[in-house]
Amino acid sequence: MVHLRAGTAAREDVEGIVALSETVFADASMTAWRAHHVHAHLDRFPDGQTLVRLDGDLVGSSTTMRVTEQAAMADHTWMEATGGSTLPNHDPEGDVLYGLEIMVHPDHRGKGLGRLLYEARKVLVRELGLEALVIVGRVPGFDEAHTQDRITLETYVEDVVAGKRTDPVLTKQLAVGLEPADLVPNYVVDPASHHCGVRLRWEP
């Protein structure tokens, strides 16, 4: 029998989260969490750090912080929004839950674990009485589509939203009920997404 457990991360999970991050982001040319980053997340906002274990193995994690509505919806880069990987911009009074990172081990994608982590974020929004969950998500399928079909990011996102194309990340975020708001150019160093993100929002 498969044993699945989702819950709030703790100090003993730090090593596992770092290892997962190295596995997930090694092939995406992006920066992985380091141990002192994850410790800072737990110092600043322990309730916002969630993980999922499958048969005891740490296979998914979600990192969030609180920000104001204005900060969540302003033009910003990942660095400006977060203040950096140790979350100095976490605002304990902020009325928006801001998703910084979510990841599932490549061997376990497509099994509903990402859904579990997004649902945990929604539960937290409700429990804390917040206005919304906001994320700026990746579109890692864009580079290939752009190379093959010379389409713009706007067209690519429209196609994914219409179900005409499938993106490895955006398609899943739409499936869990996040609503696209706008595009955020130069959001984060992410060659596959041409460094752009799609801002998505969910309200309880």
Ligand X SMILES: CC(C)(COP(=O)(O)OP(=O)(O)OC[C@H]1O[C@@H](n2cnc3c(N)ncnc32)[C@H](O)[C@@H]1OP(=O)(O)O)[C@@H](O)C(=O)NCCC(=O)NCCS
Binding residues for ligand X, rule: CB under 6 A, are 24, 102-104, 109-115, 137-138, 166, 168-169, 171-172, 175-176
36 vs 164, beta carbon nearer ligand X: 164
> Could you say which DSSP state residue 82 is in?
H
Q: Could you tell me which residues come within 8 angstroms of residue 145 by beta carbon, excluding any fewer than 6 positions away? A: 151, 156, 159, 165
CB of 136 to ligand X, least distance (A): 7
Give the pair of three-digit tokens for residue 116: 């579990």
24 vs 42, beta carbon nearer ligand X: 24
94 vs 101, beta carbon nearer ligand X: 101
Give the CB-nearest residue to ligand X: 114
151 vs 161, beta carbon nearer ligand X: 161
Contact 71, 82 (CB under 8 A): no
CB of 95 to ligand X, least distance (A): 22
22 vs 92, beta carbon nearer ligand X: 22
CB of 7 to ligand X, least distance (A): 17
11 vs 89, beta carbon nearer ligand X: 89
CB of 133 to ligand X, least distance (A): 13
- What amino acid occupies position 177? G
Q: Could you tell me which residues come within 8 angstroms of residue 109 by beta carbon, excluding any fewer than 6 positions away? A: none
Four-point Cα dihedral 59, 90, 68, 127, nearest 10:
50
CB of 93 to ligand X, least distance (A): 25
Sheet containing 96-104: give its strands across. 4-8, 49-54, 57-67, 96-104, 132-137, 197-202, 179-184
Give the pair of three-digit tokens for residue 96: 């928006």
Contact 68, 95 (CB under 8 A): yes
CB of 76 to ligand X, least distance (A): 15
